């Protein structure tokens, strides 16, 4: 005669299912809340005991689209110190993840030099000024036509060039044509 296997009580199975569903629902809710929160966008601020010196931890990215005379420049992968602007495995994608000085009262970054576009391009070994990109400067020929350097950020013309302090999610187009 075959033995019957105990499979547990139906109430216990229902309670286990409810607990699992509740846990999964909470994780989905928490993830969605975090993704849309200021914390995810701006980082965590930590101040010293006196509240005088504060730092914000950032993990931000921006996409760059540099081109010279119609030819897209490609920055090297895995280049730059990890506590500065650098690249990983995505082509022409600026990464920054570190804690930097922050004014808690004004709610703004103090240490902006570490996020200037010029520093990133220096790290990539590309000459970049308000008039030059790579080996071309305003007036140099692109084919038969004198070229000019322009830059847009998120589709809006920008003349800050090297001094532009990029923000998370920026799309930066630098064109010499």
pLDDT band at residue 161 under the 50/70/90 scheme = very high
Tell which wins on pLDDT, 138 or 14. 138
Q: Tell me, what's the pLDDT at 19?
A: 76
Range of lowest pLDDT (5-19, 34-48, 142-156)? 34-48
Per-residue pLDDT of 103-129, as tens digits, reads 999 999 999 999 999 999 999 999 999
DSSP conformation letters of the chain = -PPPPP---HHHHHHHHHHHHHHHHHHHHHHHHHHTSHHHHH-EEEE-TTS-SEEEEEEEEEEEEEEETTEE--PPSS-S-TTSSB--SSTTEEEEEEEEEEETTTTEES-GGGGBHHHHHHHTT--B-SSEETTEETT-EETTEE--EEEEETTEE---GGG-B--TT-EEEEEE-
Per-residue pLDDT of 17-45, as tens digits, reads 677 766 555 455 444 444 443 434 458 99
């Amino acid at each position: 005669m075959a033995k019957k296997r105990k499979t547990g009580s139906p109430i216990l199975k229902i309670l286990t299912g409810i607990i699992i569903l509740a846990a999964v629902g909470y994780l989905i809710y928490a993830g969605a809340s975090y993704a849309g929160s200021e914390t995810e966008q701006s980082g965590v601020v930590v101040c010293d005991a006196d509240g005088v010196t504060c730092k914000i931890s950032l993990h931000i990215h921006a996409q760059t689209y540099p081109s010279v005379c119609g030819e897209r420049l490609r920055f090297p992968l895995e280049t730059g110190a990890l506590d500065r602007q650098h690249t990983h495995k995505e082509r022409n994608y600026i990464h920054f993840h570190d804690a930097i000085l922050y004014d808690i009262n004004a709610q703004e970054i103090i240490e902006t030099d570490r996020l200037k576009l010029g520093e990133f391009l220096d790290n990539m070994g590309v000459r970049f000024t308000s008039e030059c990109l790579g080996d071309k400067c305003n007036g140099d020929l692109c084919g038969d036509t004198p070229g000019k350097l322009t830059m847009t950020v998120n589709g809006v013309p920008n003349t800050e060039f090297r001094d532009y302090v990029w923000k998370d999610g920026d799309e930066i187009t630098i064109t010499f044509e």
